Amino acid sequence: MSLLKDSPTWTMALSLLTLVAGAPAEAETEGGTADRPNILFLMSDDQSVDTMGIYGNDEVKTPHLDQLGREGIIFDNYYNTTAICMASRATVMTGLYEYRTGCNFGHGPLRAEKWSQSYPALLKQAGYLTAFAGKFGFTVEGTDPADDFDFWGSGGIQSSYVTAENETMAAYAERYPHSTLSYAAFAEDVIAAAVEQDRPFCLSIGFKAPHRPWNPDPAFDELYDEVEFTPPADFGREHGAHFSEQSKRGRQWQRWTQWGYDDDYQRVMAQYHELIHGIDVAVGRIREALAKAGVAENTVILYTSDNGYLSGAHGFGGKVLPFEESSRAPLMIRDPRLGPAGAGLRSEALVGNIDLAPTILELAGVEAPGDPDGRSLLPLLEDPEASLRDDMTFLNAWPGSLENTSLTVLTRDWKYTWWWYAGDGMTPDEDLFHTRADPLELSDLAGEPEHSEKLSEMRALYDEHLARWKERAVPYHDYERFGILFDRTIAWEEKSDHLSGN
């Protein structure tokens, strides 16, 4: 339901909250307890790691996000296992790789049985007050996900920057015509309702910003007028010459010129960072609401993005591809229950969006169902020097640009991608990057004799991950086909019958 404190909707919402069916008795807490804290999950859209001061950018203005990072733990090697919003968001909700959710553009919606394993559905069953506002990012077949939220302000798969165009948020439009700040107002009302009902809450916000087409809040139009943004050291097509031809066959290569990175970089980046600053303001307001309600010290905050962004790096624009700027994203977690010991931390562990649902579930004391691909990050809050895993998968199985679909395996130090497509005169290709020593991926080591042993090791790891794909992929929505296309041992000629989807 849409929510506005001074409207009849607010009164109705409070009444409904007293009648939530099936809430277990132990859920009746006073705004959360040490064992069942409140959970605030905030996710931006298309935000790369180099967009905040706390991640090393001194040209941007993100004071509230920087403060959040200082008060918790910052993850420096957090990857979205698919850099496409629909797939990534389904993974975030379930803790499953895309080939197990079966959800992405060109494939299909999430199915009801998968949604039943999502953290919002499980926390609702466990007695949490659940709320969602903003970009949901995907649809669910067989059930309405809104039924698993006490408060619903979703704008659907994409949502709009214009608050009035988001039907469930229209009550906020007069006060907050730009949607970013409307989500802060929504959060203020949800927090007040949860405190009124003495219930722990799980509030999730999916910011539209800074997704294109860009429409920054006019209030921030002059914010970066005096700032000259410094392009990254891998900016421009001269730094993409060593990349595979397959990687340049998608629209990400075209967007170097289409979106003005080649000749209008300053204006483009000002708009991008204005939108992120709007999120920063919203985060500040939400945290202020937590403090005023007296629940700040029992509310765990997670902040991330559904994928990174290629703002001209290597001559690309957008996301989708396995390169660092698009696959990595910021992740910060503040758990105030840890006190000073939980602040000012950084982790270099290899983690991913598959880990967010297991983390949220463990925070709430709810067991993750089935066999999730992700793992809880909570041990890293206790020991940021620890390791969570040795390797992980990054995948692009979006059939809209078949030529640059690919499978990647990565460790903390290395990344290997197999580019399988061999049509149009191309031959299969592979990348090997030492990301610890070369985080900008300026040197492809796949053809260097001195790295042949590492190449063989990463190829074997790739084959292991693909075997898991073949074993565990959903038998629908065209994922079994990609298990064949990504197979290094199958010749191109044998794949010709699999170039068209189901």
- pLDDT tens, 200-232? 999 999 999 999 999 999 999 999 999 999 999
In the prediction, which pLDDT does 33 show?
A: 67
C-alpha to C-alpha distance for 334 and 352, rounded to whole angstroms: 17
- Asked if omega into 213 is within 30° of 0 (cis), the reply is yes
**Between residues 34 and 4, the one the model is more confident about:** 34
In the prediction, which pLDDT does 435 show?
A: 98
Q: What one-letter code names the amino acid at 197?
A: Q
| Cα-based angle 105, 109, 115 (whole degrees, multiple of 5) | 135
Q: Which of 7-16, 33-42, 70-79 has the lowest mean pLDDT?
A: 7-16
CB 104 within 8 A of CB 98: yes
Mean pLDDT of 483-491: 97
| pLDDT band at 501; cut points 50, 70, 90 | confident
| pLDDT band at 22; cut points 50, 70, 90 | very low
* DSSP conformational letter for 342: G
In the prediction, which pLDDT does 496 show?
A: 87
| pLDDT band at 20; cut points 50, 70, 90 | very low
Domains detected in the chain: 8-21+34-389 (3.40.720.10), 392-498 (3.30.1120.10)
CB 164 within 8 A of CB 177: yes
CB 81 within 8 A of CB 392: yes
In the prediction, which pLDDT does 31 show?
A: 60
Which structure tokens are listed for 21? 């069916």
C-alpha to C-alpha distance for 83 and 498, rounded to whole angstroms: 24
pLDDT tens figures, 386-408: 999 999 999 999 999 999 999 99
Mean pLDDT of 87-91: 98
Mean pLDDT of 460-487: 98
**DSSP H or E run through 187:** helix 179-197
Task: For 397-427, give the DSSP string.
Answer: --GGGGGG-EEEEEESSEEEEEE----TT--
284, with CB counted inside 10 A (0-12, 13-18, 19+), is: middle
| pLDDT band at 32; cut points 50, 70, 90 | low
Q: With 80 as the cut, is the pLDDT of residue 18 above it?
A: no
* Cα–Cα nearest to 220, from 210, 230, 211, 212: 210
Q: With 90 as the cut, is the pLDDT of residue 8 above it?
A: no
Alpha helices per DSSP H over 301-426? 324-327, 356-363, 378-382
Mean pLDDT of 267-288: 98
C-alpha to C-alpha distance for 41 and 56, rounded to whole angstroms: 23
In the prediction, which pLDDT does 35 show?
A: 81
pLDDT tens figures, 279-330: 999 999 999 999 999 999 999 999 999 999 999 999 999 999 999 999 999 9
Mean pLDDT of 234-248: 98
